[in-house]
Structure 1
Amino acid sequence: MRSTAAALTALSLSMLLPSLGISIANVALPTLSTAFDAPFTAVQWVVIGYLLTITVLVVALGRLGDVVGRRRLLVGGIAVFAVATLLCGLAPSLPLLVAGRALQGVGAACMMALTVAFVGETVPKERTGSAMGLLGTMSAVGTATGPALGGLLIAWSGWRAIFLAVAPLAVVALVLAHRVLPATPPRPAQRTGAVLREVLRDRVLVAGLTTSALVSAVMMTTLVVGPFHLTGVLGLAPALVGLVMSAGPAVSALTGVPAGRATDRFGTRAMVLAGLGGIVGGSLVLAFMPPAVGVVGYVLPLVVVTASYAVFQAANNTGVMKDVPARDRGLVSGMLTLSRNVGLMSGASLMGAVFTFAAGTSDVTGAAAAEVARGTRWTFVVAAGLVAVGVAVVLRARVRTSAAPNATGPARAGS
């Protein structure tokens, strides 16, 4: 039975598993270093290989799904993910584990590219925002639960359990996707370069991809700066640092579905601007909140930033995808995932560099509290500035599209 609820369940699992694949492996790196007697720089490739494969392949696989049929490729991608996850759990050496993770990344790239693309074929248009919010929630749930789940599994049965326990869930996703998702017919192949030129003429779409990259880069600030600020300025123990850091993904998970419903009611542009405004405001409060206020002074604006991010994600994904022709949904969905991944990766290096420069020391782990606080302040100021650029991009696209509604791309009704 191909009901909307069953289809959304299949898509939710397809969104949950790739994000879980990222976060659950991070917590295992120290254990893997000991198990394989390998330096940290070597075991890092367990994470890097997975992310790099996704980033390199996601657009091409999204386009391939448009050509050969999205259900066929999504089911194939979930199957690859399931087999690769099992191989990772059985890997006898670190090189084979890294190879298994790269193969797992191929499956994850299919899932990340095509899951969002399927929303247009499984959900009524007036409920697109709610579906996007649900998928955002599932991604956040995977990110939030991965470290805790991974830690429990490692303590219970060693590092192999973090893969062997996920493989059955991938099999469930495989069976469900095969049974309930609608078949999409193969389409005549078109030159990808020509299609990209057609798609990139849509100013709303380009604005959505640009702001997605900017906001993703900014969200890395909380992950890059947070541990140093909580430890070096607020003096928290590592266990409490982890608890505070988990507040972000938890809030994002809780906000996703309501944000999607609000998008359906108020329109994508209004909610995109609301989300961006919340991120700017929360970042500025984080920048200038006196350390004397304590943990509450960090957590409350962090909640504002992450909740606003969930609002932005639901609205922006809806705005980007809702009027894309069916023949191009896989390609555009892959581009959306690519913009987010590029933003995350560039944000890690950019914000790390800003933080180090503003702190005035290359060794931030041993920096004084005042130096870390200064680094935190200016890093979040820069973050707010980047999101303000995103606001300008959205407003400019809106003005130009309103001035020439028929000049480029499809009409963006309801936005």
Structure 2
Amino acid sequence: MADIADPRAVEVSRSATGALASLSLAMLLSSLSTSIANVALPTLSEAFSASFPAVQWVVLAYLLAITALIVSVGRLGDLVGRRLLLVAGLALFSAASLAAAVAPTLPLLIAARAAQGLGAAVMMALTIAFVGDTVAKERTGSAMGLLGTMSAIGTALGPSLGGVLIASFGWRSIFLVNAALGIAAMLAARRFLPPGEAGQDRGATRENARFDMLGTVLLALTLAAYALAMTLARGRFGGLNVALLGMAVLGAGLFLHAEGKIASPLVKPALFRDPVLAPSLAMNALVSTVMMATLVVGPFFLSRALGLSEALVGAVLSIGPVVSALCGVVAGRIVDRWGASAMVAAGLALMAVGCAALAVLPALCGVAGYAAAIVILTPGYQLFQAANNTAVTADVGKGQRGVVSGVLSLSRNLGLITGTAAMGAVFAFAVGTKDIAGAAPEAVAGGMRFTFAVAAGLVVAAVAIAAAGGLRKRRSA
């Protein structure tokens, strides 16, 4: 006699699928909103009769809001309930997108983008945190791989979708699309995500489990100062950058001091001594710094050293996001099958080979060599991300999932920000001039080799951190 499916089991399976779909849409939106705005900057400069540095704040305001607030919103989700806050974040994102679409002036558009970034910070922090509430532990890697895939699709889709929308309907349409997708994601989250309860922080009683406003302000100011130090006056690290960096160092010290004094801190200082989390954060930052080098250095190499047209440069640069989108889910399934720790090491090893290939193959084989190296590097990155996220979130208590996911996302963002400045500076040093657009093709090719040799060294440092973390865990076992 054939087995009859348990209706309750079928309903649970459908709910889990719907929950994962709503989380995937939220993750896609947060990355899409960055890349789709980048392509609109020349149009916005014309529409508002503004300088290019002025319209760059349309992107920068969004990224600053995410970076400064992602840890705080993760902690808030632990305290008030993750579904409630995620739905509110999606509602804010949608409302801010509508405000951006109708903004009559550039300052109002920038303000709307900052509000949109706050909504995106909620989405980025809580999608990863929600995986533990919606997916069986043995399928965590697959879920993390799917979220990585959706992030890559958002990044890859933004420029092409934005270009079509702007050409057909004008720049306001790119924000209207964000609003429509945000509303769809909000309705899906309300329908499918488990209501749950406010997280229980084991280190604090119900009476003193309050939101740490002082820590939130200190951390937001610290991260904003660091992000501005790394992004303002790019290529010229002058007095303003040094002052901002000094403010960031001072703010970090004040933040850690304050967190050690209160009963319910935003981030427990002990988290940074955790034998799993601390190495994972360091590796995540290093790996993100390396990946940013492909976006900073790649366009100059392809256009100046290889002489490709703008259209061909865009096509070659799209290889990375496309490969990410194709291999993210596969990477997650590999993590579920072979274990997170082993796949962290495997992903880093593949990335090291990819960086070495970027230092050597493009000079020998041109575009084909560059593409082959990216095809090696990108799956390694996806495998590392799926494994690292799985390892960090596997044994985190419900009362800390939001803040841990926020800190994990923050380390990635800080790596991207640092990579923009640091790897750009390494490339300029190797080329021998800050005017890279006017540098000789041979100098640009030499800068490419040197930069990715340095990148390979950073990945080797991440491998050493992974090995040291594994050794500590074995000794404590």
**What's the TM-score bracket when you normalise by the shorter of the two chains?**
over 0.9
Aligned to 1:115: 127
- Structure 2: gaps of 5 or more residues: 1-10, 201-205, 211-262
TM-score of the two chains, using structure 1 as the length reference? 0.96
Residue of structure 2 equivalent to 1:264: 336
In 2, the alpha carbon distance for the partners of 1:140 and 1:243 equals 15
Cα 1:257–1:356 shift into 2, 3 Å: same
- Measure how far apart 1:367 and its partner are: 0.5
| Secondary structure at the counterpart of residue 268 of structure 2 | helix
Equivalent of 1:314, from 371, 386, 390?
A: 386
Counterpart in the other structure of 2:258: none
The whole-number CA distance in structure 1 between the counterparts of 2:50 and 2:98 is: 22
Q: 1:59 maps to what in 2? A: 71
2:358 counterpart residue number: 286
| Matched residue, 2:196 | 184
Q: Deviations over 1:356-408 (max 9, x none)?
A: 00011121101001100110011001101111111111110110111013xxx
Deviation digits for residues 327-346 of structure 1 (CA, Å, limit 9, x no counterpart): 10000000011000000000
Q: Post-superposition shift, 1:235?
A: 1.0
Say if 2:362 and 2:370, in contact at 8 Å, map to a contact too.
Answer: no
> Counterpart of 1:254?
326
From 265, 277, 297, give the equivalent of 1:205. 277
SS of the equivalent of 1:236 reads: coil
Check conservation: 1:114, 1:334, Cα contact below 8 A.
Answer: yes
Taking the aligned partners of 1:356 and 1:160, their CA distance within structure 2 comes to 36
CA distance in 1: counterparts of 2:120 and 2:50, whole angstroms: 26
Residue number in structure 2 paired with 1:220: 292
In the TM superposition, 1:100-139 aligns within 5 A as 100-139=112-151
Is 2:399 the counterpart of 1:327? Answer: yes
Amino acid in structure 2 at the alignment position of 1:381: A
In the alignment, structure 1 residue 353 sits paired with structure 2 residue 425: yes
C-alpha separation in 1, matches of 2:189 and 2:361? 47
Shift of 1:290: 5.2
Structure exhibiting the larger radius of gyration computed from Cα positions: 2
After the TM superposition, which parts of structure 1 deviate over 3 Å for at least 4 consecutive aligned residues? 190-195
Q: Distance in 2 between matches of 1:162 and 1:362?
A: 34
State the partner residue of 2:168: 156
Letter in 1 for 2:363: P
| Pair 1:305-2:377 in alignment | yes
Q: Residues 61 and 114 of structure 2 are in contact (CA less than 8 Å); yes or no, is this contact kept in structure 1? A: yes
The one-letter amino acid of 1:38's match is A
Aligned equivalents of 2:29, 2:273: Cα separation in 1: 33
Give identity over the alignment, percent: 58
TM-score by length of 2: 0.84
1:55–1:338 Cα contact (<8 Å) kept:
yes
**In 2, Cα distance between equivalents of 1:302 and 1:375:** 17
> 2: CA distance between counterparts of 1:121 and 1:354?
42
- What amino acid does structure 2 have at the position aligned with 1:6? G
- Cα distance between partner residues in 1 of 2:83 and 2:467: 36
Q: Root-mean-square deviation (CA), in Å?
A: 1.1
Deviations 1:297-321 (CA, angstroms, capped at 9, x unpaired): 1100111111111111111110111
What is the rounded CA distance, in whole Å, between the counterparts of 1:112 and 1:195 in structure 2? 17
286-295 vs 379-388, which moves further: 286-295
The answer as to whether partners of 2:75 and 2:266 remain within 8 angstroms in 1 is no
Q: Is the 8 A contact 1:233 1:291 kept in 2?
A: no
**Secondary structure at 1:344 match in 2:** helix
Q: CA deviation at 1:165?
A: 1.7
Q: Secondary structure at the match of 2:434?
A: coil
1:4–1:123: 8 Å Cα contact kept in structure 2?
A: yes
Deviation for aligned residue 1:199: 2.4
